């Protein structure tokens, strides 16, 4: 589904990704772990198409299509969804308004019909209920004054509504309390399907207890330095990244 080959990325003359290779198959849940500053968020931004990042080399293919040539909204329509590590606040724009605008924009891009308002509201309410998001929160301006955990839940709500095919969760677990972690994970698990793949960026095993990954990749200094099954995460939890720091020195 997603194929990244030899990706080299810099920002303001600083190299962040150094020939990164990664493949995620349909139906797969891949976890990425790695020390702070190793380039995980950068990778997610580059997949989603944030400007500022200069791609010097390599390619990113989604179902064979070259993502790098697309605008961020085209990528979204193609199925890429990024749950931000730090979701943005948009003053004055009610969450409901925002959700409707995005959903219909994507439907339009895919040649589908726009949703009627009752239809839309039904869907939002269902998703909100599952994620235990109170209705009045949806009336407030998007993310403005939301707590860290509320913002993260709002990200997952959007994911549930937009039904993307490739989902990136950048540290969605940070800022969540124990119950919220379970709720969010259930939300994610409900979306797991043979046609959908996930890239889950996290620092902690506790998220992976809920969202059990098929594969685990270790990222270091802008590269995937090791890949394995879900047991790799447990190993990291026990040993940290010390081994990899050595490899960097070498």
Partner 1 sequence: MPAVQETIDQVRSIDVDQYKYGFETEVEMEKAPKGLSEDVIRFISAKKGEPEWMLQWRLDAYKRWLTMTEPAWARVSYDKIDYNDIYYYAAPKKNPAPKSLDEVDPEILKTYEKLGIPLREQEILAGVEPQSRVAVDAVFDSVSVATTFKEELKKAGVIFMPISEAVREYPDLVRQYLGTVVPVTDNFFATLNSAVFTDGSFVYIPPGVRCPMELSTYFRINEKNTGQFERTLIIADKGSYVSYLEGCTAPRRDENQLHAAVVELIALDDAEIKYSTVQNWYPGDSQGRGGIYNFVTKRGDCRGRNSVITWTQVETGSAITWKYPSCILRGDNSRGEFYSIAVSNGMQQVDSGTKMIHLGKNTTSRIISKGIAAGRSENTYRGLVSAHRKATGARNFTNCDSLLIGNECGAHTVPYIESKNASAVFEHEATTSKISEDQMFYCQQRGLSEEEAVALIVNGFVKDVLQQLPMEFAVEAQKLISISLEGSVG
Ligand X SMILES: Nc1ncnc2c1ncn2[C@@H]1O[C@H](COP(=O)(O)OP(=O)(O)OP(=O)(O)O)[C@@H](O)[C@H]1O
Q: Which residues bind partner 1 (CB under 8 A)?
A: 48-52, 71-73, 75-77, 80-82, 84, 87-88, 90-93, 97-98, 101-102, 105-106, 109, 141, 158, 162
Distance of CA 11 to the CA centre of its chain: 21
Residue 95 site contact among partner 1, ligand X, Mg ion, none (CB < 5 to 8 Å, cut-off depends on kind): none
Q: Tell me which of 20, 30, 31, 40 binds ligand X, using CB under 6 A.
A: 40
The listed partner (partner 1, ligand X, Mg ion, none) that binds 109, CB under 5 to 8 Å by sort, is partner 1
* C-alpha R_g of the chain: 18
Binding residue for ligand X, selected from 5, 8, 10, 11, defined by CB under 6 A: 11
Asked whether position 185 contacts ligand X by CB under 6 A, the answer is no
**Which of 6, 25, 37, 212 contacts ligand X by CB under 6 A?**
37
Among 22, 30, 41, 154, binds ligand X (CB under 6 A): 41
Binding partner of residue 73 among partner 1, ligand X, Mg ion, none, CB cut-off 5 to 8 Å per kind:
partner 1
- Residues from 50 through 89 that contact Mg ion (CB under 5 A): 85
Q: Of the two residues 75 and 153, which places its CB atom closer to partner 1 in the complex?
A: 75
Q: Residue 76: CB partners within 8 Å, gap ≥ 6?
A: 48, 106, 162, 164
Q: Are 179 and 150 in contact (CB under 8 A)?
A: no
Decide which of partner 1, ligand X, Mg ion, none touches 221; Cβ closer than 5 to 8 Å per partner kind. Answer: none
Please give the Cα distance from 129 to 124 (Å, whole number). Answer: 8
Q: b/e per residue, 25-57, with b = 16+ CB within 10 A?
A: eeebbbbbbbbeebbbbbbbbbbbbeeebeeee
| Strand order from edge to edge, sheet including 29-33 | 80-83, 166-170, 197-201, 29-33, 215-220, 223-228
Instruction: Extract the tokens encoding 209.
Output: 């207890």
Tell whether residue 149 is a contact of ligand X (CB under 6 A). Answer: no
Query: Does 41 engage in binding with Mg ion (CB under 5 A)?
Result: yes
């Amino acid at each position: 589904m997603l194929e990244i080959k030899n990706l080299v990325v810099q920002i303001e003359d600083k190299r962040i990704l150094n020939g990164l290779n990664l493949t995620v198959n349909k139906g797969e849940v891949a976890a990425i772990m790695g020390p702070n500053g190793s380039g995980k968020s950068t990778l997610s931004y580059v997949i989603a198409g944030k400007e500022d990042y200069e791609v010097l080399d390599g390619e990113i293919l989604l179902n064979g299509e070259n993502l790098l040539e697309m605008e961020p909204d085209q990528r979204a329509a193609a199925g890429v969804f990024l749950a931000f590590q730090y979701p943005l606040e948009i003053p004055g724009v009610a969450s409901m308004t925002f959700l409707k605008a995005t959903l219909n924009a994507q439907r339009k891009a895919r040649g589908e019909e726009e949703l009627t308002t009752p239809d839309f509201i039904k869907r939002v309410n269902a998703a909100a209920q599952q994620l235990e998001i109170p209705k009045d929160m949806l009336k407030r301006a998007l993310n403005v004054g939301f707590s860290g955990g509320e913002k993260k839940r709002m990200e997952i709500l959007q994911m549930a509504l937009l039904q993307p095919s490739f989902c990136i969760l950048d540290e969605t677990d940070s800022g969540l309390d124990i119950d919220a972690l379970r709720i969010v994970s259930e939300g994610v698990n409900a979306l797991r399907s043979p046609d959908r793949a996930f890239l889950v960026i996290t620092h902690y095993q506790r998220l992976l207890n809920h969202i059990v990954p098929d594969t685990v990749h270790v990222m270091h200094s802008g590269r995937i330095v090791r890949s394995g099954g879900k047991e790799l995460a447990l190993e990291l939890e026990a040993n940290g990244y010390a081994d990899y720091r050595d490899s960097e020195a070498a």
